[in-house]
Amino acid sequence: MTTPNLLTATEAAEAIRTGNLTSRDLIDACIARAEERADDVGAWIYLNPCLAREQADNCDQALAEGRDLGPLHGVPVGLKDIIDTADMPTENGSALFEGRRPVADSTIARLLRAAGAVIMGKTVTTEFALSAPGKTKNPHDPAHTPGGSSSGSAAGVADHQVPLSVGTQTGGSMIRPASYCGIHGFKPTFGSISRAGMFPLARPLDHPGVYARSIDDIALIGDVLMVKDPADLDMRGHPRGKLADALSAPAGEPPKIAFVRGPMWEQGEDYLDDVMQGALVQLGKHVQEVEMTGVFDRALACQETVMMANVLANIGDYCRDHADKVREETHRRAKSGEGIAADDYIKAIEFRDTIAAALDRMFDGYDVLITAGATGEAPEGLGSTGNAAFQKMWTLLGVPTVTLPMLKGPNGLPIGLQVIGRYAHDGDMLRHARWIEEQF
């Protein structure tokens, strides 16, 4: 058998269920890889091997007694360090919360445990899931950023330290790290995964999401987490939210695909056109380039207004009352929200609906949109997590997106192909994304 930590989550879950692999062996392989790569990658802020192995042993014992605990039975998952766990610290990437021990699990942690998952540890986040980087490095080249804010969640999956992880996106924090690290990253429709027990950065924009090494794995964990929770007041209903069912549906016609550049393209690297051209050639007659201007030109500024006003509201007191424990970059970002007037914020929130309506009309003619997953390869240096321009519009509008690890930049580092779906059509988007992936 393949070395256990190289298995996808779907493969590992099947191997455990059929008795070809134990959860303990899988956990041991993942921990060994994480410890081996601690200095080179640094994906974990909290990793307790004894606790992880105890969970795995409990899973193996349950299976020996004929009890299947659920779709993730015995499979390890990493959680971003802004998601509460009762048995592990949750420090929000900040010295201000050092040693914090939540009294209860977040809804995400509770659902994972109920599905039989082993919560392996807490992954590195930027401070407050904003932009002050943690210790994590890009597993493809440690001189380059892994992206952020879900830095450790993406790097841990990319480096085969864990098959699945949970991150979050408020600007570009799920899809950019996935693009930089060369894995699948899924940001579902806004309100699909509960944020109860998760640090709030900007309520209208905060999206939990998942990292994996295959589309099937995304569906596996997505169906566990995309459950209505009254504890999160912003949760939405999704009539097509059954991801695995959507992937198993009979194949229909190839999707109609629109390639869009949008207002973010001017921030892309010079080589991005050439990189994307290769993808368009592969997709041939199934893709058309579609102009994205007009109301879309204001999307990035609109997202910035909504985000930074909320950031100031949520962490402004920390910056003011505990200035010595909050990092300089966090102070700088929070301060940028001070000049946003109430009427500007209201206009931005209302204009978001105008942009959303225009985007929805595009889906009358196309099944999915595609664009680059980031402005280019992961930048060199660890002082920044990169430019979030290529994710901001989709975060603002709350539509589902997934990045496919299919492209390479001039230095051989990954660039994701980002697939964007219609609001609340997450399953359809994943099915079309898998078709796109198969063309390569």
Residues recognised as catalytic: 80, 149, 173
Rounded Cα–Cα distance for residues 205 and 440 (Å): 32
3-state DSSP assignment of residue 210:
strand
Residues 6+ apart with CB under 8 A from 421: 368, 399, 400, 401, 402, 428, 429, 430, 432
Rounded Cα–Cα distance for residues 363 and 366 (Å): 5
The pairing of beta strand 184-187 with beta strand 401-408: antiparallel
3-state DSSP assignment of residue 206:
coil
Helices (H), 197-327: 215-225, 243-248, 272-283, 299-321
Return the H-helix or E-strand segment holding 87: none
DSSP 8-state symbol, 423:
T
Helices then strands, counting H and E runs in the chain, come out as: 14, 11
CA distance readout (Å), 316 to 134, 303, 308, 320 = 20, 19, 10, 6
Rounded Cα–Cα distance for residues 421 and 68 (Å): 34
Is residue 69 classed exposed, middle or buried when 0-12, 13-18 and 19+ CB atoms within 10 A define those classes? middle
Report the C-alpha dihedral over residues 225, 129, 142, 51, rounded to 10 degrees.
-50
3-state DSSP assignment of residue 274:
helix
Structure tokens at 314: 């949520």
Q: Which residues of 238-274 are buried (b: 16+ CB within 10 A; e: fewer)?
A: bebbbbbebbeeeeeeebebbbbbbbbbeebbeebee
Structure tokens at 132: 């002050």
Rounded Cα–Cα distance for residues 261 and 300 (Å): 13
Cβ of 350: how many Cβ atoms within 10 Å?
10
Q: Specify the long-range contacts of residues 57-64, CB closer than 8 Å, at least 24 apart.
A: 57/23, 57/24, 59/16, 59/23, 59/116, 59/118, 60/22, 60/23, 60/24, 62/116, 63/16, 63/17, 63/19
| 76 neighbors 217 (Cβ within 8 angstroms) | no
